[in-house]
Chains A and B, each alone.
Chain A
């Protein structure tokens, strides 16, 4: 069966910025993430996805907008809320669902799950169960890109809660000191698990970036076109100048911290800004026929349904085969 490739792998890039795809294509990629995560929520509630999952509803604009100008050889390190990043970077729906359901033919043979899903073939260096855990890994990956001599770059995604972790500060310092081609992308949804991040950090990322002398751009993450255009410019700059940059996007965490979180701690009653609705309204304004948009949505729903069905039929892994891969065999890379 042909692997359904992820959103980023589809479609030619053309738009207002030379690199940014048309809104309809960006919308389609966002819908792919939303529909996949909707299914995740249902599968989790039904007990078909073990463990726990953190959905990125409300943050699709950042994943899709930033990833739109990346190449397969650019690398990203992600977070515990990494489904959108993985799919937008090119992880296929089949490998994605099979992994989340813990199947033998999942992207990571059912050993990683939601919080550790990776696809190195598309430069996705893994979700990460450790807040800030991916930041220095991306930094090393960026240094590898620089030492190899091409124009590839690395991106680390992190939440505003991770700003309190020392590794972010160490990494910003080293990135600027060693001029490493890395883009630090903060998805600022205001929440650090169950606490407002404003109760946890005394600085803004803008000021922090300034302290390290790193160029900073902040924008609204619910407008995928803005994100895509800004990211295309900044990615170009990092590619060319071989040094770091910081991007921060205001986003919304529409659902709870994890699935099943009743959010009793949450006081904000204003309805969240949904990047899909923002994009959808703009498509209407621009006269894209509703039927065309709905056909795209229906296609994606069918694709997701098919991937879920296939994942259900996939075999479970064995402990023996897992035990064989605690260490890489010495002949593998020697």
Chain B
């Protein structure tokens, strides 16, 4: 166990995966010589060489397409797309090619590739460098979507994503990179598709993932002071999401709030709310509440962005609204 930053947990996962499996290689813009825009891949070129840690020109479409060809050719490419906003340029390779090949070719092939990218606000990066677009990818059969919240999970989930035979989108929240925390020497395995109970409680379930888990924890802390016991579920994986874990928690608490940083409308929360309204209807003692960003592009200004981003206070409000 040591204290480290979130970015370092990811760096260590990449380092260990490169060392463990010669078929793993990294592709991305500025990831080799420069060590990545957020210094996540720093030092990996020196340790693993230019055939494993490959700098690419600014060509997201071709980089993602090449990863598909590399995966078909026996490699496990891990692509870095600098900002999630730039995923728009990879859509053909991911949505029409990578996601479909296993199915469309009748199971002849797997496409073991990972696309690492980062989403989220907090840096006043504005409308084209802050979006949370994970719901798009969760909507595509054949893709998996993973969003870690803690250092141990960042490590363990990335290792799981690299080992997975399917294309996995691995989303890091840019505001988490400098976050300090405990990183286990051997973080416990985190299988894709399994949620984690981040805090046990009995009065209300707050489902979240990524950086918003920390807001949910702060909300739970505040609610505890008011005598409300909130259970916080960290989904860890958005596709496939752990329906059973959410339902089990709902069966215990009978109230449900879903919180994410992405725009609320048509988001991940909508899917979870709809499923729980269907399969957990009898358990519900109040309306399912969603907390997400308003329906607008991420604004730039300091105060604007603060007001825009979902907060612990808004989660607390939502919890109160479940108590009708």
Residues of A in contact with B (beta carbons under 8 Å apart): 75, 77, 106-112, 116, 118-121, 125-126, 128-130, 133, 135-145, 147-148, 154, 166-167, 170-171, 173-174, 177-178, 322, 325-330, 332-334
**B residues within 8 A CB of A140?**
65-73, 77
13 sample A-B contacts, Cβ–Cβ < 8 Å, listed by A number:
A110-B106, A112-B104, A118-B101, A120-B108, A125-B69, A133-B92, A137-B68, A137-B93, A139-B62, A139-B65, A140-B77, A148-B73, A326-B103
A254 → chain B, closest Cβ, in Å? 28
B interface residues, how many (CB within 8 angstroms): 47
Complex-state Cα separation, A325 to B92, whole angstroms: 21
Q: Is the CB of A330 within 8 A of B164?
A: yes
| Cβ of B194 under 8 Å from chain A | no
In the complex, the answer to whether A332 meets B110 with C-beta atoms within 8 Å is yes
Segment of B51-59, B181-189, B266-274 engaged in the interface with chain A: B51-59
Task: Contact check, B61 vs A136: say whether CB atoms are below 8 A apart.
Answer: yes
B103 in contact with A322 (CB, 8 Å): yes
| Interface residue from A128, A147, A178 paired with B75 (Cβ < 8 Å) | A147
Residues B73 and A325 in contact, CB atoms below 8 Å apart: no
Q: Which of A75, A111, A126, A328 has the most CB of B within 10 A?
A: A328
In the bound complex, what is the Cα–Cα distance between A137 and B67 (angstroms)? 7
Report chain A residues within 8 Å CB of B73. Answer: 75, 140-141, 143-145, 148
The answer to whether B72 and A141 have CB atoms under 8 Å apart is yes
Q: Are B109's CB and A120's CB within 8 A?
A: yes
Which residue of A has the minimal Cβ distance to B62? A170
In the complex, whether B142 has a CB less than 8 A from a CB of chain A is yes
* Chain B residues whose CB sits within 8 angstroms of the CB of A322 once the complex forms: 103
Q: Does B102 contact A (CB under 8 A)?
A: yes
Of A129, A178, A334, which one neighbours B96 at CB under 8 angstroms?
A129
Which of B54, B59, B65, B75 meets A137, CB within 8 Å? B65
Q: Which residues of A contact B70 (CB under 8 A)?
A: 140-141, 143-144
A112 to B64, Cβ gap below 8 A? no
Write the chain B residue with the least CB distance to A112: B104
Which B residues lie within 8 Å of A119 (CB)? 108
Residue on B with the closest CB to A138? B69
Could you say which of B64, B72, B75, B163 contacts A125, with CB atoms under 8 Å apart?
B72
* Structural contact, A106 and B106, CB atoms closer than 8 A: yes
Query: How many angstroms between the C-alpha atoms of A166 and B61 in the bound complex?
Result: 9
Question: Is the CB–CB distance between B62 and A327 below 8 Å?
Answer: no
Other A-B contacts than A106-B106, A136-B62, A170-B61, 13 sampled, CB-CB below 8 A, are A126-B104, A129-B96, A136-B64, A136-B69, A140-B65, A143-B73, A144-B69, A147-B25, A167-B92, A173-B57, A173-B59, A327-B142, A327-B144
Asked whether B165 lies within 8 Å of A334 as measured between CB atoms, the reply is yes
Quick check: B59 and A109 within 8 Å, CB to CB?
Answer: no
Docked Cα-Cα span, A178 to B32, in Å, equals 14
**8 smallest A-B Cβ distances: which pairs?**
A140-B69, A136-B65, A144-B73, A109-B106, A140-B66, A170-B62, A328-B110, A141-B69
Please report the C-alpha to C-alpha distance between residue A147 and residue B59 in the assembled complex, in whole angstroms. Answer: 21
Q: Choose from A112, A166, A332 the contact partner of B105 (Cβ within 8 Å).
A: A112
Query: Bound state CA distance, A126 and B71, in angstroms?
Result: 14
For B112, the closest partner residue in chain A by CB is A333
Per-residue contact bits, chain B 22-50, to A (CB 8 Å; 1 contact, 0 not): 00010000000000000000000000000
Q: Shortest beta-carbon distance, A33 to chain B, in Å?
A: 21
A129 to B106, CA, bound (A): 16
Contacts of B208 in A (CB 8 A): none
Within the complex, the shortest CB–CB distance from B243 to chain A, in Å, comes to 16
Decide if B127 is an interface residue (CB 8 Å cutoff). Answer: no
A175 to chain B, nearest CB (A): 9
| Chain B, Cβ-Cβ closest to A77 | B69
For B297, the chain A residues whose CB sits under 8 A away are: none
* In the bound complex, CA of A329 to CA of B112 (Å): 11
Interface centre among B73, B106, B109, B165 (most CB of A within 10 A): B106
B166 at the interface (CB under 8 A from A): yes
A91 to B62, CA, bound (A): 27
Determine whether B322 belongs to the interface, using a CB cutoff of 8 Å to chain A: no
